[in-house]
Copies of this chain bind each other. A is one copy, B any other.
Amino acid sequence: MSNSNFKILLVDDEPDIVEFLGYNLKKEGYTILTANNGKDAIEIAKKEIPHLIVLDVMMPDMDGIETCRELREQKNLQEVLIAFLTARSEDYTQIAGFEVGADDYITKPIKPRVFISRVKALLRRLQANNISESVIEFGNIRIDKEKHVVYKGELEIALPKKEFKLFSLLSSKPGKVFTREFILDQVWGDEVVVGDRTIDVHIRKLREKIGDDYFKTVKGVGYKFEF
C-alpha cells in the first residue's frame, strides 16, 4: 500500500496548523482530510473512516479528549489510530488522552520531520497488522498483490492466479499453520469441490518457484509459510 492509500484526518481549530500539517503530510503522499472542530471531525470520520486522526486537544466547544471519546464510541472507529496534539507537558491531558483511547501524543511546537516520523510509525502498525497492504516483504521475498508478482531478491516470479492466492494466504501469517480445509475455503471457495491432492500440487509449484524451505508441511494439520 503506497502512502496515498492512507487517509489522515487533521483536526485543529487553528486553520494555520491544519494547513501546515496537511502540507507536510501531502508531500509524503498521504491523503488528507481536515476539520476545524470536533463535531465536523466526527462527521467526516464516520463517513471516510480515516486510518489516522490527529486531534488537537485544546479546541473550543468540544475539546480533543471529548471528541476522541465520541469517536471511540463509533463501532467503525475503534480500530482507527488517534494521535493528540498539545502544548508541551500538559500531563493531565496526556493521561486523560491515553485513557480515552489515544495511540500517540505529540507535543507542540511541531517539527515537520519529527511529526512525519511519528505518523509513519503509527501507520506502520496498521501495516504490520496488515489490513490491506499490497506489498509485503519477508526477508528477500516481496509480494506485490497489486501487480500479482512475487520477487525473490531481484528475481521476478510470476505466479498464476491460484498459486498466487495460495501464497498470499499462507504468507498473510508467516508461521501459522493453515489447515487444508481452510485453504480450500479461502483459495478455492466454499462450493468448489476439488480433490485433496490439488493443494499438494500447488504447494509443490510454489516450492519449485519460490524455494523448498519456505513451505513447511505439518502432517495431518496443514501447511505453513516460513522465512
Residues of A within 8 A of B (CB): 75, 78-79, 91, 94-95, 97-99, 101-105, 111, 113-114, 117-118, 120-121, 124-125, 128-129, 144, 146-149, 158, 160-161, 173, 175-177, 218-221, 224, 227
The answer on a CB contact under 8 Å between B91 and A118 is: no
Contact A221 to B103, CB < 8 A, known contacts A117-B94, A125-B125: no
Which of B104, B118, B147, B173 is A176 in contact with, Cβ under 8 Å?
B147
The answer on a CB contact under 8 Å between A224 and B117 is: no
The answer on a CB contact under 8 Å between A224 and B79 is: no
- Which chain B positions have C-beta within 8 A of A176? 146-147
Among A91, A218, A227, find the residue whose CB has the most chain B CB atoms closer than 10 A: A218
- Which chain B positions have C-beta within 8 A of A160? 219-220
Q: Smallest CB–CB gap between A103 and chain B, Å?
A: 6
